[in-house]
C-alpha cells in the first residue's frame, strides 16, 4: 500500500492524544503507513486574497502535516457560509435554517480548488487519499481535473438526507456528481446508504450495479456504511487518570443525595437540547418523586457562535433551563445545571461515570460518539443507563440502549423515568451488550474497514 494522505477541514497533531479519538485513529493510520495530513490551519488572514493561502509544513514523526491559511472572505463563505450555513443544516434535515441565497457556493468551490491545487503538488502516484466530511465533497473532482489518478475515498461524518431534502440545495446535482470522482464513498449508517441509493435512482441516470456499486458520469463508485467508533482503550486509560478520578469523586460527593442525568455536546441545533430540557421538565412534573433529587447536568460546549442559528439556540436554551429552575428549584436543589463551556477531555470519563443516566437525544446525528464514550466510561458492576435518540446513527448499532423519539416529550420523560428506575441486573445486562458492541466496532475497526475497502477497489 502506498502512502496514506488524509484530508480534512482541520488537522491535528497525531502525537497529542488530547486531540480526541478520531485524531488518534487517523494519526495511527498515518503513522503506520507514513503519510500526509492536509487541511486548513485554523488561521484566518484578515485582508488576505481569496483563493490564496500560505502552506505550513510540519513533521510529526513519520507524518507530515500540511496546513493552509484562509483569507477572511474564504473562511466566511467556505466554512461559516456554505459548509455550516447550508450543508450542515440541510444534511440534518433543517431546511428552515439553511441560507441558500447568500452566494456562499463561490467560496466553497474556490477553497476546494485551492486545496486541490496545493495538495496536488505534494502527491505521489501511489498515494491513497482519504477525504473527510462535508467541507470537502468536491475535492476529488478538483484533483481529477488536475490529472490526479490516485485512489480516492470519502467519508461523510454527518447524515445524508433523503433525496427530496437534498434536492432543496440549489447545487445538489453538482455535489452528488462530485462524489462520483471518488472510488469509495463511506457513510455512517445504512439509512444514509439507502438515501444515496434512492437519490441516484431518482435524480440521476445512474446504473445501480449492486447494493454497493453505482455507475454514472462514466465512473463506477462503491458506497458502503462504515459506522465510526471510539478508541475504547484510550478512553478507558483516560478514565484511570487522576483528572477523571478527581472529577468522579467530586461529583459523587457533591451529588450523593441526588440522581444525576447528564448531557454532553457541542451547542448545536441538531442535538435536540431544547426538546431534552422540555422532557426533563415533564419528568419532574409527571413523576414528583424526582423532585429534590433528579439533577440534569447539561454541558453545551460553545460551537460556531458566529452562525446566527447558534445564537438563537443559546437564548432558547438559557430561557428553558431558567424556567425549570425557577419553577421547580429549591434553596438546596437546582434541577438543571447548564454549563455553556467545554469540559477538559481528561475529566470527561469521570463525569460520565458519575451519571445514572446519559441523555443522548439528537434530532439527527451522523453517529454520536458521546453515546459510545458514556458506555466505555461506566463501572460494569454499577453502570448508568443510556437513553439514545433513534435518529442518531448510533441507534442502528446500540440496540440495547433505551431508544427514544426526542420529539415525543411525554414518552422521552417516561423513558428517563424508566432509566432512573432500572434494576441493577437489567442495567448490567444492557451495559455488557453495549460495551461489547462499542469495543468490537471501535475506531480502529472503522478505519481498517474503510482502508481495506478503498484498497480493494481498482484505482481510476
Ligand atoms: C460529528 C458528527 C459523528 C463534547 N463536548 C465536549 C467534548 N465533546 C466531545 C465528545 C465527543 C465529541 O466532542 C463529539 O462527538 P459527536 O460524535 O457526539 O458529535 P459531533 O461533534 O457533532 O461530530 C457526529 C462525529 O462527527 C464523528 O464522525 O459521530 O454525528 O456530527 O468526542 O466527547 N469534549 C470536551 N469537552 C466538552 O465539553 N473535551
Neighbouring C-beta atoms of residue 177, cutoff 10 Å: 17
Distance CA 94, CA 165 (A): 9
Among 170, 166, 193, 191, which Cα is nearest to 101's? Answer: 170
Please name the residue whose Cα sits nearest to atom 39 of ligand 1.
345
* 8 Å CB contact between 371 and 392: yes
Model confidence pLDDT, tens digit, residues 91-111: 999 999 999 978 899 999 999
Which residue has the least CA distance to atom 4 on ligand 1?
265
pTM: 0.96
Query: For ligand 1, which residues put their CB under 6 angstroms from it?
Result: 20, 22, 157-158, 228, 264-266, 299, 301, 342-345, 348, 365-370, 373
> Cβ(135)–Cβ(110) under 8 Å?
no
**Cα 31 to ligand 1 centre (Å):** 23
What's the confidence (pLDDT) of residue 19? 57
Cβ atoms of 10 and 42 within 8 Å: the answer is yes
Ligand 1 atom closest to Cα of residue 371? 18
Q: Tell which one of 369, 393, 397, 446 to mutate to probe ligand 1, the residue whose CB is within 8 A of the most ligand atoms.
A: 369
Can you give the pLDDT at residue 18? 57
Nearest-CA residue for atom 15 of ligand 1? 369
Look at residue 146 and give its three-state secondary structure.
Answer: coil
CA of 22 relative to ligand 1 center, distance in Å: 10
Please give the distance, rounded to the nearest whole angstrom, from the Cα atom of residue 57 to the centre of ligand 1.
Answer: 27
Say how many Å lie between the CA of residue 139 and the centre of ligand 1: 24
Phi, psi of 227 (to 5 degrees): -65, 125
Residues of the chain where predicted confidence (pLDDT) is lower than 50: none
Nearest CA, atom 34, ligand 1: 345
Q: Which three cell numbers stand for residue 443?
A: 475506531
Question: What is the CA(207)–ligand 1 centre distance, in A?
Answer: 36
Q: What is the pLDDT of residue 31?
A: 80
Give the pLDDT confidence score for residue 306 in this predicted structure.
78
Work out whether strand 63-71 and strand 55-60 pair parallel, antiparallel, or are unpaired.
antiparallel
**CA distances to 5, 118, 207 from 182, in Å:** 14, 19, 16
> Which residue puts its alpha carbon closest to atom 26 of ligand 1?
157
Active site residues: 157, 365
- What digits encode the pLDDT tens for the residues 275-306? 999 999 999 999 999 999 999 999 999 888 87
Q: Quickly tell me which residue has 502516484 as its cell.
A: 125
pLDDT, position 229 = 96
pLDDT of residue 12: 82
Amino acid at each position: 500500500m502506498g502512502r496514506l494522505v488524509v484530508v480534512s477541514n482541520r488537522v491535528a497533531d497525531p502525537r497529542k492524544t488530547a486531540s480526541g479519538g478520531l485524531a488518534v485513529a487517523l494519526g495511527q493510520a498515518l503513522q503506520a503507513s507514513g503519510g500526509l495530513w492536509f487541511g486548513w490551519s485554523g488561521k484566518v488572514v484578515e485582508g488576505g486574497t481569496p483563493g490564496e493561502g500560505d502552506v505550513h509544513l510540519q513533521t510529526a514523526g513519520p507524518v507530515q502535516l500540511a496546513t493552509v491559511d484562509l483569507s477572511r472572505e474564504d473562511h466566511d463563505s467556505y466554512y461559516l457560509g456554505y459548509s455550516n450555513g447550508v450543508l450542515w443544516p440541510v444534511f440534518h434535515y433543517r431546511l428552515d435554517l439553511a441560507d441558500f441565497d447568500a452566494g456562499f457556493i463561490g467560496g466553497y468551490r474556490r477553497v476546494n480548488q485551492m486545496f486541490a491545487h496545493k495538495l496536488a503538488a505534494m502527491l505521489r502516484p501511489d498515494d491513497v487519499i482519504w477525504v473527510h466530511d462535508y467541507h470537502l465533497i468536491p475535492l476529488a473532482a478538483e484533483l481529477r481535473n488536475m490529472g490526479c489518478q490516485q485512489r480516492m475515498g470519502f467519508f461523510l461524518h454527518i447524515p445524508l438526507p433523503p433525496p427530496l431534502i437534498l434536492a432543496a440545495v440549489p447545487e445538489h446535482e453538482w455535489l452528488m456528481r462530485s462524489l462520483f470522482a471518488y472510488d469509495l464513498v463511506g457513510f455512517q449508517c445504512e439509512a444514509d446508504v439507502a438515501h444515496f441509493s434512492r437519490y441516484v435512482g431518482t435524480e440521476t441516470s445512474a446504473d445501480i450495479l449492486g447494493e454497493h456499486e453505482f455507475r454514472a458520469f462514466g465512473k463506477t463508485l462503491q458506497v458502503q456504511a462504515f459506522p465510526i467508533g471510539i478508541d475504547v482503550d484510550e478512553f478507558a486509560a483516560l478514565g484511570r487518570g487522576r483528572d477523571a478520578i478527581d472529577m468522579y469523586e467530586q461529583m459523587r460527593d457533591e451529588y450523593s443525595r441526588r440522581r444525576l442525568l447528564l448531557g454532553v455536546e457541542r451547542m448545536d441545533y441538531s442535538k435536540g437540547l431544547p426538546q431534552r430540557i422540555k422532557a426533563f421538565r415533564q419528568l419532574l412534573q409527571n413523576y414528583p418523586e424526582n423532585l429534590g433529587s433528579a439533577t440534569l447536568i447539561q454541558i453545551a460546549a460553545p460551537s460556531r457562535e458566529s452562525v446566527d442559528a447558534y445564537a438563537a439556540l443559546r437564548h432558547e436554551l438559557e430561557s428553558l433551563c431558567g424556567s425549570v429552575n425557577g419553577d421547580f428549584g429549591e434553596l438546596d436543589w437546582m434541577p438543571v445545571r447548564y454549563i455553556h463551556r467545554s469540559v477538559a477531555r481528561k475529566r470527561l470519563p469521570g463525569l460520565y461515570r458519575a451519571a445514572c443516566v446519559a441523555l443522548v437525544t439528537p434530532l439527527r446525528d451522523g453517529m454520536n460518539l458521546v453515546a459510545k464514550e458514556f458506555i466505555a466510561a461506566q463501572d460494569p458492576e454499577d453502570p448508568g443507563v443510556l437513553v439514545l435518540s433513534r435518529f442518531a446513527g448510533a441507534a442502528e448499532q446500540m440496540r440495547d440502549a433505551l431508544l427514544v423519539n426526542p420529539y415525543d416529550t411525554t414518552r422521552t420523560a417516561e423513558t428517563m423515568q424508566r432509566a432512573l428506575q432500572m434494576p441493577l441486573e437489567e442495567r448490567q445486562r444492557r451495559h455488557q451488550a453495549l460495551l461489547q458492541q462499542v469495543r468490537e466496532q471501535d475506531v480502529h475497526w472503522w478505519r481498517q474497514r474503510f482502508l481495506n475497502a478503498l484498497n480493494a477497489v481498482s484505482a481510476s
